[in-house]
């Protein structure tokens, strides 16, 4: 057997995409010499490319028994672990590759993508910066750097990173797509549309690009064109739930409520998506379809009882009142807001309140130096902006922390309805009393407890029993926790590390589990 010629032939077949033929030759080489590192390693890569991830991992693991410090094999093993969602193992694998080949830009870049997936955005940014220090023209790392800067709410820097990537790689469709997404966040819809169109000229069959193009067209209020874009996305990916939701929104804007409800229902049948619930509820209300509204409300309530916070304020335990439903159908405007959209600006005069149908809102105050304090968070079944009833300036700002659907009611409509429905007014007073009590407890905690005491109060308050364990269902970053307890991220980081080391907490993928009773003092 001419092993050199056989190896060259196998590699050529592999590179040309003839994977089955390449596999046969790799296996011949291994039958002749089971310790052929190159054949074993490339066989694993080939099997992973064919979608046989477990076999690929096994083959590369065998190759690493032959050459434990081979950087290419370590990198490929980590890449497959990342593809199958084993992020912590993938992270260790990329670190091993970097130990074998320090400063390797590709390993730093891939390590950054895993850190980003784990929510460790600052560390991911540092990894991309190291990759770019070693390889300044690394377009993929620049693109990834832009994505993490978006996550860190630094849109101007994100756009600069995408622009650099596109100067280096003018046909980089992913960078055009990501640049368009950043422009959507900035509400620069025309510029975003240009980016999505450029990306589609390179990848015309990409369903996500058609969906994103529809979002830009919605922002420009070109709803018919947006609808056509969503239909293009669904032609290419018939189970694309986000496109069904967005299609429903466009149909709502076109007052085609029956078609909107059908579009939301397609998403609900597949997944019961939160935003599809909110959209379906508002479409049913717009149609005055009380039986469908009640059905959606019952579904929402069942999921709330199962631990999910998705109940719209239109139900609020008051859903049996048909006058309320009719009033909502006639007068309430439903709108979906992207993540980090500011709904209310502190100090401005306001004329409306927002009823949360899905998503989550952050209420906060800030000073001229930009320092923020988080006052509260609100989810489905709650409202913000009700203090505008007296005509005074807004006392705080409100921002979405995730994509959220809200019903918007003007001050005049709300006051008229309270006058017409005194029972509902009493119910609302009860909700406001609960909120005032919570605010009082927060003030007491800030004034009388140290940071550790406030941290314990937060974790205990958020934890719910799941399979015999106390789990904080909401995935919180250390910055999220710091904002809620009025502390610095560094202080929270130290306390969390101590509690994990002491066996009180376990944290994996930002999910916090309370393993035993937290001590009263630290």
pLDDT in tens, 419-434: 666 666 665 676 677 6
Closest CA to 435 of 381, 373, 389, 477: 381
Distance CA 163, CA 144 (A): 12
Q: Tell me which DSSP letter residue 517 carries.
A: P
Distance CA 444, CA 455 (A): 14
Q: Which residues contact 502 (CB under 8 A, 6 or more apart)?
A: none
Q: Residues 473, 307: contact at Cβ < 8 Å?
A: yes
Distance CA 13, CA 28 (A): 14
Q: Which residues contact 201 (CB under 8 A, 6 or more apart)?
A: none
Residue 25 tokens, joined: 């030759």
Q: Which residues contact 251 (CB under 8 A, 6 or more apart)?
A: 227, 257, 259, 260, 263
Buried b (16+ CB within 10 A) or exposed e, 41-64: bbbbbbbbeeebbeebbebbebbb
Distance CA 437, CA 212 (A): 43
Q: Tell me which DSSP letter residue 202 carries.
A: H
Distance CA 419, CA 339 (A): 34
> In the beta sheet, which residues pair with residue 349?
393
Distance CA 252, CA 221 (A): 12
Distance CA 138, CA 435 (A): 51
Q: Of all residues in the chain, what percent are helix, strand and coil, respectively (each to 5)?
A: 65, 10, 25
Burial zone of 303 (CB within 10 Å; 0-12 exposed, 13-18 middle, 19+ buried)? middle
CA atoms within 13 A on the CB side of 466: 16
Q: Which domains does the chain have, with CATH numbers?
A: 1-68 (1.25.40.10), 76-151 (1.25.40.10), 322-448 (2.60.120.10), 451-514 (1.10.10.10)
Distance CA 316, CA 128 (A): 46
List the chain pLDDT tens, one digit each, 522 residues.
688 888 889 889 999 999 999 899 989 989 999 999 999 999 999 999 999 999 999 999 999 999 999 999 999 999 999 999 999 999 999 999 999 999 999 999 999 999 999 999 999 999 999 999 999 999 999 999 999 999 888 988 999 999 999 999 999 999 999 999 999 988 899 999 999 999 999 999 999 999 999 999 999 999 999 999 999 999 999 989 889 989 998 998 898 988 998 998 888 776 655 567 667 766 765 564 545 654 665 565 455 445 554 433 344 434 334 444 444 444 556 678 898 899 998 888 888 888 877 777 888 888 776 677 788 887 666 788 877 767 778 888 999 988 887 778 777 777 776 666 666 666 567 667 767 776 677 666 666 678 888 888 888 877 877 777 788 867 788 888 887 777 888 888 888 888 888 888 888 877 888 888 888 777
Whether the pTM exceeds 0.75: the reply is: no
pLDDT (tens digit, 9 = 90+) per residue, 180-201? Answer: 999 998 889 999 999 999 999 9
Buried b (16+ CB within 10 A) or exposed e, 153-181: eebebbbebbebbbebbeebbbbbbbbbb
CA R_g for the chain: 27
């Amino acid at each position: 057997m001419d092993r050199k010629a056989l190896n060259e032939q196998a590699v050529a077949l592999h590179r040309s995409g003839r994977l089955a033929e390449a596999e046969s030759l790799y296996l011949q080489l291994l039958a002749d010499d089971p310790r052929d590192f190159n054949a074993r390693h490339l066989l694993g890569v080939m099997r992973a490319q064919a979608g046989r991830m477990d076999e690929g991992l096994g083959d590369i693991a065998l190759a690493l028994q032959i050459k434990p410090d081979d950087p290419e094999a370590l990198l490929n093993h980590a890449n497959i672990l990342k593809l199958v969602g084993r992020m912590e193992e993938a992270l260790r694998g990329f670190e091993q590759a970097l130990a074998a080949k320090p400063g390797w830009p590709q390993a730093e870049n891939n390590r950054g993508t895993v850190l980003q997936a784990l929510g460790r955005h600052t560390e991911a940014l540092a990894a991309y910066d190291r990759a770019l220090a070693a390889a300044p023209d690394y377009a993929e790392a620049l693109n990834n750097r832009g994505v993490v800067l978006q996550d860190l709410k630094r849109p101007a820097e994100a756009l600069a990173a995408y622009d650099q990537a596109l100067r280096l790689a003018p046909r980089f469709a992913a960078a055009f797509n990501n640049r368009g997404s950043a422009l959507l966040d900035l509400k620069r819809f025309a510029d975003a549309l240009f980016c999505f169109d450029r990306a589609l000229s390179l990848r015309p069959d990409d369903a996500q690009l058609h969906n994103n193009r529809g979002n830009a067209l919605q922002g420009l209020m070109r709803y018919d064109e947006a609808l056509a874009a969503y239909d293009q996305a669904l032609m290419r990916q018939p189970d694309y739930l986000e496109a069904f939701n967005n299609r429903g929104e466009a149909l709502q804007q076109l007052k085609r409520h029956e078609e909107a409800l059908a579009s939301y229902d397609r998403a609900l049948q597949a997944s019961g998506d939160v935003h599809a619930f909110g959209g379906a509820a508002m479409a049913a209300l717009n149609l005055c379809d009380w039986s469908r509204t009640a059905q959606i409300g019952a579904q929402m309530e069942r999921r709330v009882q199962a631990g999910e916070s998705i109940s719209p304020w239109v139900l609020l335990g008051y859903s049996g009142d048909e006058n309320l439903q009719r009033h909502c159908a006639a007068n309430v405007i439903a709108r979906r807001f992207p993540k980090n959209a500011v709904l209310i600006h502190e100090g401005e005069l306001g004329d409306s309140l927002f009823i949360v149908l899905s998503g989550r809102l952050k209420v906060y105050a800030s000073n001229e130096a930009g320092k923020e304090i988080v006052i509260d968070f609100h989810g489905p079944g709650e409202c913000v902006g009700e203090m505008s009833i007296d005509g005074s300036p807004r006392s705080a700002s409100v921002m979405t922390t995730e994509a959220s659907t809200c019903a918007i009611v003007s001050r005049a409509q709300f006051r008229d309805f309270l006058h017409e429905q005194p029972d509902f007014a009493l119910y609302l007073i009860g909700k406001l009393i609960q909120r005032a009590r919570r605010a009082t407890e927060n003030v007491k905690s800030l004034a009388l407890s140290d940071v550790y005491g406030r941290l314990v109060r937060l974790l205990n308050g958020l934890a719910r029993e799941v399979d015999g364990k106390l789990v904080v269902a909401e995935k919180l970053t250390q910055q999220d926790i710091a904002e809620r307890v009025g502390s610095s991220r560094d202080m929270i980081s130290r306390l969390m590390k101590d509690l994990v080391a002491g066996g009180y907490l376990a944290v994996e993928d930002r999910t916090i589990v309370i393993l035993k009773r937290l001590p009263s003092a630290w």
